[in-house]
Amino acid sequence: MRVLALCLGNICRSPVAEALLRRELAAAGVEAVVDSAGTGDWHVGRPADPRSIDVARRHGLRLNGKARQLLRRDFADYDVILAMDSQNAAEARALAGTPGAASRVRLMRDFDPIAPGADVPDPYMGGKAGFESMFEMLERSAKEFARQAAAPEAEAQADRI
């Protein structure tokens, strides 16, 4: 399975989602390649926001990647693109080029058992509490995504994820 986490700048939400998805899919025994990207290009080549690095570190995760922008070829390279909010999902679908490619885009919180389909609010302009709240939402969603991906029928029903 190949999974891409997507947010606006690829410095706050999607790097944390990438690390959580990697951890949870591995724990569930799902062989996966996980990466992240942003719909915007402002932060390309930069590391994750220090507040995202900090919240991830406090939960035992490391964020070592550099920001990159979503590319049309990502739709061929990834089975699913998990957008952090509806705006980024819409921008990704517009870039996709075909309905089939656009159908690979889902919201990360489609897998949140507490608030399915909700946006992951961007914590960029806020403080530490917003980053912790973001982490909790992403962790719940990543755990459920991994659980569904590992389900025995998941291979036969890969399109549902």
Is residue 159 in some structural domain?
no
Domain that holds residue 123: 2-152
The rounded percent of the chain whose pLDDT value lies above 90 is 93
Is 119 a residue of the active site? no
Q: CB–CB of 7/124 below 8 Å?
A: no
> What is the pLDDT, as a whole number, of residue 156?
47
Question: Is position 112 within any domain?
Answer: yes
Structural domain contains residue 140: yes
Q: Of the residues 35, 74, 112, 122, which is catalytic?
A: 122
Number of domains in the chain: 1
d(CA 72, CA 69): 10
- Each residue of 1-55: pLDDT tens digit? 999 999 999 999 999 999 999 999 999 999 999 999 999 999 999 999 999 999 9
Instruction: Examine the residue annotation and report whether 68 is marked as an active-site residue of this protein.
Output: no
Contacts of 151 (CB under 8 A, 6+ apart): none
Determine the residue type at 24.
Answer: E
Q: What is the mean pLDDT of residues 104-128?
A: 97
**Structural domain contains residue 130:** yes
pLDDT at 152: 73
Residue 65 pLDDT class (50, 70, 90 cuts):
very high
Task: Let me know if residue 161 belongs to a domain.
Answer: no
Q: pLDDT confidence of 154, banded at 50, 70, 90?
A: low
Q: What is the CATH number of the domain that holds 37?
A: 3.40.50.2300
Indicate if 57 belongs to the active site. no
Q: Tokens representing 143?
A: 């755990």
Annotated catalytic residue, options 12, 13, 68, 85: 13
